[in-house]
Amino acid sequence: METLGLHLNGKRVVGIGSALVDILAQASDAFIDATGVPKGGMVYFDDQGLEAVLTRVDGAPRIVPGGAACNTLVGLAQLGGEARFIGKRGNDLSGRRYEDGLRDQNVEPLLIASDSPTGRVLSLITPDSQRTMLTYLGAAAEMRPEELQCAHFADAAVVLIEGYLVFNRELFQAALATAKAAGARVVLDLASFTVVESARALLDAAVTDFIDILLANEDEAQAFTGKASSMEAVKALARRVPVAVVKTGAQGSLVAAGGKVHAFAAVRGDGIVDTTGAGDLWAAGFLFGLVEGFPLPLCGQLASACGYEVCRVLGAHIPAEGWRRIHRLLPRIASSGGNP
């Protein structure tokens, strides 16, 4: 099929990234400052350092399965898509529960077990609903290039690679090459402005040689392109890749494809409590629409709906009632050409 100018071989989306347990906690701006992590960013901690911060958190945190690529694949599967996740987990209770949770969400898990603990990320959520992440990779950091197999990607229409993988340089490069060799379209999510700042040269080479679809938020796009304007940033990205996306939060999103820039409004409503996973679930809606052959307006509107619903809850997983609202929305968007 021809979708957004990209020929796709099937409908399966395969993601590779860090298998992490999410720990969600409320925090003040002063608390964030004390951690030394830039607000809205992500910094790696060792297990003891993360635990030291966690002991100072007020209230009981919430614990859920996570990881950027994993969040996107769970969302895609809940929309009815074919999803597979590749990662590495600990051979511990957390890791086994993580794998069982993927199966329960209709995601095929290809998880390699390690004697190291399953990774975890502490997401600190400030009163403005922004999240700041402290990450201990644990077993996720141990995945090696030789553990990737062509068979993992053999039936993939799209392979999603999360930007955090750049910190495992050899694995990142192997994932790009293996996905491309399998004939899949490669999607890169830049993940965080701190990722872009830390690995600009590596990301620049990857975009030049491998990437078909590039996903970024405003901060990431600015860090990568040097353009303060989201419109100018998405145009700059579109000169590098067939499809470029800049997510602009409450303002919606910009998608550049086929020589044009398309603007999609965000879904507006009350009850925004946490932006954790907003970009991940936006990508779930967009990629589901892509592999299903939906017109671009439908892809954009579906992505916006998924991004909005996850912001109504704590964490990166949309509850059943939110998915019911999204599924009811689909026929209305489709019948109106993507402009409900």
Of residues 340 and 222, the one with the higher pLDDT is 222
**What does the pLDDT look like over 232-277, one tens digit per residue?**
999 999 999 999 999 998 899 999 998 999 999 999 887 788 888 8
Lowest mean pLDDT across 168-182, 211-225, 305-319: 305-319
Arithmetic mean of pLDDT, 62-70: 85
74 CB-contact burial (10 Å; exposed 0-12 / middle 13-18 / buried 19+) = buried
Task: Check pLDDT > 80 for residue 211.
Answer: yes
Q: What is the dihedral of CA 237, 238, 242, 244, to 10 degrees?
A: 60
Contact 305, 285 (CB under 8 A): yes
CA separation for the pair 287, 293 (Å, rounded)? 10
Task: Check pLDDT > 70 for residue 340.
Answer: no
**Predicted confidence band of residue 338 (pLDDT cuts 50, 70, 90):** very low
C-alpha pair distances (Å), 279 with each of 133, 205, 218: 14, 23, 11
Of residues 65 and 60, the one with the higher pLDDT is 60
Structure tokens at 17: 């990234």
Of residues 327 and 337, the one with the higher pLDDT is 327
Instruction: Output the pLDDT for position 268.
Output: 84
Task: Find where tokens 């907003």 sit.
Answer: 278
Task: Check pLDDT > 80 for residue 65.
Answer: no
Close Cβ partners of 281 (under 8 Å, ≥ 6 residues apart): 71, 72, 75, 306, 307, 309, 310, 316, 318
Domain ranges of the chain: 2-18+67-118+141-335
Average pLDDT taken over every residue of the chain: 91
Task: Check pLDDT > 60 for residue 1.
Answer: no
For 237-261, b/e burial (b = at least 16 CB within 10 A) is bbeebbbbbbbbbeebbbbbbeeeb
CA separation for the pair 85, 74 (Å, rounded)? 9
Arithmetic mean of pLDDT, 174-196: 94
CATH superfamily of 2-18+67-118+141-335: Ribokinase (3.40.1190.20)
Task: Check pLDDT > 60 for residue 124.
Answer: yes
